[in-house]
């Protein structure tokens, strides 16, 4: 059984959650032309006595072991994905052949501010959410703030961190892909720093170097040194909030705003990234598993009964995580029809295996 979450709650001092004191504003960005991490005392609601489930004994070996961390809001939608993700994390880490030797502990960073019913099942650190209204309905803004708290308060034994997401399925053991002080990251085709150079120069001024220093990445999946991430995370938080407050930037980046913020923060701190296209695949666009380590099921998969993709139109057969925002998927989902790509078939089989083996899945689904 995973170690339970143990948290000490402290009141949110009103003075500490004043946005004018806690965050870099857009005006400050323009005047200073640079971003620096905020001092610890400025972070809203940090509790000195916060304790954490460490994820059990670190299993990774050697100095290159990494700790896997996943942020979650505590919604039912996030929770069922975390349960499935943690099942496959354990399978990969315990895989025969020693491939998971560098996979260490696991933590779900729960930024709801309170424990839930699954802290006994999944090693969990409870983080405070941003002050009400700060995320402006963009809940992902809580992710960098949650990482700031975890990195400051948790006893993380490993020297590296893998930042992952609830909708990641680990297909096989993941080695530490980072090298020579550089992080390992997945390149996203829709993160285009050159295209948005005029917008990004508000946060990455010209004296910092060419815009090509900003890699086409998000914060996940990324394997980074713990020390590097501890420097990046506060800046990532500051830039995310500043971008959201700037109408031009918010409109340009939309739902990937926080990903751009991480890429900028990494560049500002001089942390380069080794880009691994095989880090993960994203069905239905990626057809085969190939050498990938992760399946990211962010896109809906819609097909007719002849196995033809009907993307943009609800298919006769479909798997879309958004279909299960108010209740978890049932056990034994129907498999895709013949002709559907291997990546989609594997995705559904992995979800089915996880739900078949996770205790109390049916009773949870009935709630």
pLDDT at 62: 72
Task: Say how far apart CA 4 and CA 169 lie, in whole Å.
Answer: 23
Task: Say how far apart CA 127 and CA 216 lie, in whole Å.
Answer: 28
pLDDT at 46: 28
303: which strand partners?
A: 309, 317
Helix (H) or strand (E) run with residue 225 in it: strand 222-225
Task: Say how far apart CA 297 and CA 323 lie, in whole Å.
Answer: 13
- Residues 6+ away with beta carbon under 8 Å from 313: 302
Contact between 338 and 363 (Cβ < 8 Å)? no
Neighbours of 115 (CB within 10 A): 18
Task: Say how far apart CA 68 and CA 71 lie, in whole Å.
Answer: 10
pLDDT at 101: 85
**In terms of C-beta density within 10 A (0-12 exposed, 13-18 middle, 19 or more buried), how is residue 179 classed?**
exposed
Query: Tokens 């080794």 appear where?
Result: 274
**In terms of C-beta density within 10 A (0-12 exposed, 13-18 middle, 19 or more buried), how is residue 198 classed?**
exposed
Reported as a single tens digit per residue, the pLDDT across 190-243 is 999 999 999 999 999 999 999 999 999 999 999 999 999 999 999 999 999 999
Regions of the chain with pLDDT less than 50: 1-57, 366-367
Helix (H) or strand (E) run with residue 230 in it: helix 226-245
User: Dihedral through CA 119, CA 123, CA 126, CA 130, nearest 10?
Assistant: -120
Task: Say how far apart CA 179 and CA 181 lie, in whole Å.
Answer: 6
Task: Say how far apart CA 183 and CA 302 lie, in whole Å.
Answer: 35
If you count them, how many residues does the chain have? 367
Contact between 94 and 172 (Cβ < 8 Å)? no
pLDDT at 99: 62
Task: Say how far apart CA 224 and CA 263 lie, in whole Å.
Answer: 13
Rounded to 10°, the helix 142-153/257-268 angle is 50
Distances (CA, A) of 163 to 106, 225, 319: 10, 11, 25
Task: Say how far apart CA 68 and CA 153 lie, in whole Å.
Answer: 16
Reported as a single tens digit per residue, the pLDDT across 2-23 is 444 434 333 233 223 223 333 3
Neighbours of 265 (CB within 10 A): 27
User: Nearest to residue 169, comparing CAs of 283, 298, 297?
Assistant: 297
Dihedral (CA of 190, 192, 196, 200) sign: positive
Task: Say how far apart CA 300 and CA 321 lie, in whole Å.
Answer: 7
Contact between 166 and 109 (Cβ < 8 Å)? no
pLDDT at 96: 55
pTM: 0.85
Distances (CA, A) of 17 to 29, 144, 315: 20, 16, 46
What radius of gyration do the chain's Cα atoms show? 20
């Amino acid at each position: 059984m995973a170690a339970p979450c143990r948290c000490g709650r402290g009141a949110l001092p009103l003075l500490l959650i004043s946005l004018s004191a806690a965050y870099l504003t857009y005006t400050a960005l323009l005047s200073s032309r640079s971003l620096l991490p905020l001092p610890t005392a400025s972070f809203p609601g940090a509790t000195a006595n916060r304790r954490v489930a460490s994820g059990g004994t670190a299993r990774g070996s050697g100095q290159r072991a990494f700790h896997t961390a996943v942020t979650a809001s505590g919604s039912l939608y996030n929770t069922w994905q975390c349960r499935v993700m943690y099942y496959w994390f354990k399978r990969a880490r315990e895989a025969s052949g020693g491939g998971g030797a560098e996979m260490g502990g696991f933590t779900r960073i729960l930024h709801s501010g309170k424990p839930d019913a699954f802290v006994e099942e999944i090693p969990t650190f409870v983080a405070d959410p941003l002050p009400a209204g700060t995320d402006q309905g963009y809940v992902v803004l809580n992710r960098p703030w949650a990482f700031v708290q975890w990195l400051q308060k948790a006893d993380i034994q490993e020297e590296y961190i893998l930042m992952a997401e609830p909708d990641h399925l680990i297909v096989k053991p993941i080695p530490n892909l980072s090298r020579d002080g550089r992080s390992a990251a997945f390149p996203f085709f829709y993160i285009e720093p050159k295209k948005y150079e005029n917008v990004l120069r508000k946060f990455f001024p010209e004296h910092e170097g060419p815009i090509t220093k900003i890699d086409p990445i998000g914060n996940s999946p990324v394997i980074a040194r713990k020390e590097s991430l501890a420097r990046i995370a506060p800046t990532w938080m500051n830039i995310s909030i500043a971008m959201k407050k700037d109408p031009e930037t918010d409109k340009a980046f939309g739902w990937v705003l926080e990903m751009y913020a991480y890429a900028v923060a990494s560049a500002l701190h001089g942390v380069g990234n080794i880009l691994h296209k095989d880090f993960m695949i994203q069905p239905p666009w990626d057809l085969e598993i190939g050498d990938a380590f992760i399946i990211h099921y962010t896109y809906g998969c819609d097909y007719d009964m002849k196995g033809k993709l009907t993307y943009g139109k609800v298919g006769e057969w479909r798997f879309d995580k958004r279909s299960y925002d108010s209740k978890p998927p049932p056990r034994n989902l129907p498999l895709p029809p013949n002709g559907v790509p291997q990546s989609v078939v594997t995705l559904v089989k992995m979800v089915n295996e996880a739900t078949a083996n996770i205790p109390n899945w049916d009773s949870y689904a009935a709630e």
